[in-house]
């Protein structure tokens, strides 16, 4: 069966963001480690509950990936109950924990099966991520690396989303044209804008029933997106 994009072109490849798309922070480990180091009553549940609001703060922050990452983490812990004056201690603790074991290592239910179904359908899969040079390590820690034909890490290639060049690097590595690919990410200004600039159709991961007001295709999860891409073969 030939899968087709909304443009009518045949779909040959699906590219993904990594953080908050395929792999997620280990909120419970972070809460335990930072809470213990700072003697504060943090909980993983409370950190996780602030993820959506922290993502908004990240998208509204300054333009570099490092600034976005800092804004996200600071918002996450501020919402979790950490005073602003202790954010330096939080950053130090997280750096230590991240060096010991990648903090981005959790995977949502259905992700493995969904990626396997895309591969079984004959699609090429790739990662295009703004990361710290360790996105492959994160994918390996989450047990996902084997599904991907190419992994593009911004720190290793010297360019970052939304620069369309980083998306083109993945297309070139896979040997597919922009109109034959789909990109999936969680940030409109970084993922959707960048993918579209490279000529790639984009899907924004957004909670079910949410209205982004941005006129782009959305999906509530990887599992449901794949069910939509592979009709009649729901998993």
Q: Domain residues of the chain, as ranges?
A: 13-23+107-229, 25-104
Q: Report which secondary-structure segment, H or E, holds 13.
A: strand 13-16
Fold (CATH) for 13-23+107-229: Rossmann fold (3.40.50)
Q: Report which secondary-structure segment, H or E, holds 145.
A: none
- 15: tokens are 């590219």
- In Å, how far are 28, 57, 77, 105 from 36, measured between CA atoms? 12, 26, 14, 21
Q: Among 189, 222, 224, which Cα is nearest to 18's?
A: 222
Per-residue pLDDT tens over the stretch 33-92: 999 999 999 999 999 999 888 887 777 765 677 788 888 899 999 999 999 999 999 999
Q: For the whole prediction, is pTM greater than 0.75?
A: yes
Burial class (CB in 10 A: 0-12, 13-18, 19+), 62: exposed
Helix ranges (DSSP H) in 121-210: 135-141, 154-157, 164-174, 193-197
Share of residues in the chain with pLDDT > 70 (%)? 94
pLDDT at 114: 97
In the predicted model, is pLDDT for residue 234 greater than 70?
A: no
pLDDT at 206: 86
Dihedral sign of CA atoms 76, 189, 196, 165 in order = negative
Per-residue pLDDT tens over the stretch 150-200: 999 999 999 999 999 999 999 999 999 999 999 999 989 899 999 999 999
In the predicted model, is pLDDT for residue 216 greater than 90?
A: no
């Amino acid at each position: 069966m030939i899968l087709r994009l909304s443009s009518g072109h045949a779909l040959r490849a699906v590219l993904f963001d990594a953080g908050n798309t395929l792999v997620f922070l280990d909120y419970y480990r972070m809460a335990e480690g930072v809470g213990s180091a700072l003697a504060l009553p943090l909980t993983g549940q409370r950190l996780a509950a602030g993820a959506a609001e922290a993502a908004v703060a990240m998208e509204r922050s300054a333009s570099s990936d490092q600034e976005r990452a800092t804004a996200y983490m600071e918002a996450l812990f501020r919402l979790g109950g950490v005073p602003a004056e202790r954010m330096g201690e939080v950053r130090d603790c997280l750096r230590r924990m991240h060096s010991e074991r990648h903090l981005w290592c959790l995977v949502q239910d259905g992700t493995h099966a969904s990626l396997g179904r895309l591969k079984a359908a004959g699609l090429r899969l790739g990662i295009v991520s703004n990361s710290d040079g360790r996105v492959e390590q994160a994918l390996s820690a989450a047990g996902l690396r084997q599904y991907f034909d190419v992994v593009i890490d911004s720190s290793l290639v010297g360019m970052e989303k939304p620069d369309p060049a980083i998306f083109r690097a993945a297309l070139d590595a896979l040997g597919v044209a922009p109109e034959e690919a789909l990109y999936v990410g969680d940030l409109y200004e970084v993922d959707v804008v960048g993918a579209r600039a490279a000529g790639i159709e984009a899907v924004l991961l957004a909670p079910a029933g949410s209205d982004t007001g941005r006129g782009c295709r959305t999906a509530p999860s990887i599992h449901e997106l794949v069910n939509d891409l592979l009709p009649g073969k729901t998993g």
